[in-house]
Amino acid sequence: MIRFGIAGFGLHAAKRLMPGFYQAANCRVTALSRRDLQQARQSCAQYNIPFAFDSTEKLCQSPEVDAVFVATPNALHRQDVLAAIRAGKPVLCEKPMGMNAAECQQMVEAARQTEVLLGVAQIFRFEDTTAWFRDQIAVGKIGKPVFARSEFSLAVGPQHPRTWIRNQALAGGGPIADVGVHCIDTLRFILQDEVVRVSAQARFDACTGDVETAASLLLEFSLGTLGTVLVSFQTEYRTPLEVVGTEATLRGDDALTVDKPVALELRRGTAVETSTVSNASAYARQVEAFAAAVEGKTAFPVPGEEGWQNQLILDAAYRSMRSGQAEAVPRVKT
């Protein structure tokens, strides 16, 4: 049984992480940290978690914690991951992994030097939806992928409980950083290919603070597929995913969701094959996979290098917004 400590026990931890831990069989949460110790104790009482701390550093030093899940605001990821690494604790970091690629590189290299396990919590890699897309493409069901489209929109106004998400200094960006990273990672995963260039345009609105409110990205993949990513903080929750190949098309209207069953389509001419999957166990699968890696049973499928590569793409997208040109994406140093 792997005992996790959650650093930064806020909305995401309460709404998404804890239900996943409740489902998991080989791990549980024994500690959490919040900046306010009284609030940390209240959260512990509410979720029956034994130990409360007012800093990530103290949580990482606890002998009651085997592994650390970093769920603090983006600007704190680097310092919190490095605190876990210094304590010799395997660490799973929320996406986006850092504020920029240099931070991600520092985290990855520190983990390598100390041989501490570092993973990034790209939750949709643990979905049945993305597994279906990846498998269909891998066996050639659609021929050669020509276009791939991933969208992710949600409403983030002034009353949104994650107030920091509209603050550039804490979030690093708007929907590109927050949910665009999901789209980018999903396309990389299902296509089993890497982005070589990015073009991006964005719109800004006073309601979303000093970050972009909506954006479109064009991703050029090494094998020739053109990917589009559309993200927004202005609309209802929607996450369509589509891949158009030379022979057929794959589609899911609500592909990146864990809240309800997802209808999937394989279209070839007028023939349509349909199936329905549930992603309800994705969060449990994620922490179970990390626990198995901590025990040395298997490698964690989303190591820190994947978070670093995603950040290189995010950085290129933000550069493109400023330059008005396509920007090259370097590859992670192995």
Task: Give pLDDT tens digits along the chain (334 positions).
Answer: 999 999 999 999 999 999 999 999 999 999 999 999 999 999 999 999 999 999 999 999 999 999 999 999 999 999 999 999 999 999 999 999 999 999 999 999 999 999 999 999 999 999 999 999 999 999 999 999 999 999 999 988 776 777 778 888 998 999 999 999 999 999 999 999 999 999 999 999 877 778 999 999 999 999 999 999 999 999 999 999 999 999 999 999 999 999 999 999 999 999 999 999 999 999 999 999 999 999 999 999 999 999 999 999 999 999 999 999 999 999 997 7
Report whether the peptide linkage leading into residue 175 is cis, meaning its omega lies within 30 degrees of zero.
no
The Cα–Cα gap between 240 and 257 comes to 10
According to the model, what pLDDT value does residue 260 have? 95
Domains of the chain and any CATH numbers = 2-123 (3.40.50.720), 125-283+312-328 (3.30.360.10)
Regarding beta strands 67-70 and 91-94, do their DSSP bridges make them parallel or antiparallel, or are they unpaired? parallel
The Cα–Cα gap between 183 and 231 comes to 9
The Cα–Cα gap between 286 and 123 comes to 7
The identity of residue 168, as a single letter, is Q
